[in-house]
Amino acid sequence: MSGETFVEYKDSFSYGSRPDLSFKFLKGLSEEEAATFLHDLITKVGEAIDDGDATRIIEHVTQGQIEAYSKPTQWAYDDGPFAKLAKPVRESRIGLLTSTGHFLEGKDPEPFGVKNMTQAEAVERITDFVKSTPELSEIPADVPADQLLVRHGGYDIRGVQADRNVALPIDRMTELAAEGVIGDFASPAYSFVGAAAQTPISRKLAPKWADMFKERQIEGAVLVPV
Amino acid sequence: MSVGHIARAFEENGIPTVIVATKAFRPRLEVMSLPRLVLTPYPMGRPLGAPNNAAGQRQTLLAALDLLETAESNGSIVEVDYPYR
Q: What are the tens digits of pLDDT across the range A166-197? A: 999 999 999 999 999 999 999 999 999 999 99
Beta bridge pairs of residue B40: B22
The HSE-up count of residue B66 (CA atoms within 13 Å, CB side) is 11
The HSE-up count of residue A26 (CA atoms within 13 Å, CB side) is 28
- A2: contact with B, CB 8 A cutoff: no
Is B54 part of a structural domain of the chain?
A: yes
In whole angstroms, give the CA distance from residue A178 to residue B35: 27
Q: How far, in Å, are A43, A44, A218, B42, B52 from residue A48 at the CA level?
A: 9, 6, 46, 19, 22
The closest of A36, A34, A33 to A9, measured between CA atoms, is A34
What pLDDT score does A73 carry?
A: 81
Check: complex ipTM more than 0.95: yes
Mean pLDDT for A81-97 is 98
Is B60 part of a structural domain of the chain?
A: yes
In A202-221, the residues whose Cβ lies within 8 Å of chain B are 202, 205-207, 209-211, 213-214, 218-221
CB A26 within 8 A of CB A11: yes
Is B63 part of a structural domain of the chain?
A: yes
In whole angstroms, give the CA distance from residue B51 to residue A161: 9
Alpha helices (H) along chain A: 6-11, 31-51, 55-68, 119-124, 126-129, 158-162, 170-179, 198-200, 206-215
What pLDDT score does A220 carry?
A: 98
Tell me the per-residue pLDDT of A50-73, one tens digit each, with 9 for 90 and over: 999 999 999 999 999 999 998 888
List chain A domain ranges. 6-68, 89-224
In whole angstroms, give the CA distance from residue A182 to residue A173: 8
Question: Are B69 and A88 within 8 A, CB to CB?
Answer: yes
- B45: contact with A, CB 8 A cutoff: yes
In whole angstroms, give the CA distance from residue A176 to residue B3: 23
Q: What is the total count of domains within chain B?
A: 1
Out of A75, A156, A207, closest to residue B45 by CB: A156
What pLDDT score does A2 carry?
A: 73
The closest of A124, A130, A117 to A14, measured between CA atoms, is A124
Q: How far, in Å, are A99, A188, A189 from residue A137 at the CA level?
A: 10, 9, 8
Return the sign of the alpha-carbon dihedral for residues A213, A169, B16, A82: negative
Bridge pairing between strands A220-224 and A189-191:
unpaired
What pLDDT score does A81 carry?
A: 97
Is B84 part of a structural domain of the chain?
A: no
User: How many other C-beta atoms lie within 10 A of the C-beta of residue B52?
Assistant: 12
Question: Are B51 and A175 within 8 A, CB to CB?
Answer: no
pLDDT band at A1 (very low <50, low <70, confident <90, very high): low
Q: Which domain holds residue B15?
A: 2-79
Is B85 part of a structural domain of the chain?
A: no
Bridge pairing between strands B36-40 and B76-79:
parallel
* Percent of chain A surpassing pLDDT 90: 96
Mean pLDDT for A89-103 is 98
Tell me the per-residue pLDDT of A124-181, one tens digit each, with 9 for 90 and over: 999 999 999 999 999 999 999 999 999 999 999 999 999 999 999 999 999 999 999 9
- For residue A98, the Cα-to-chain-centroid distance in whole angstroms is 7
Element (H, E) at B26: helix B26-30
**Single-letter amino acid, residue B42:** Y
Residues of B in contact with A198 (CB under 8 A): 1-2, 5
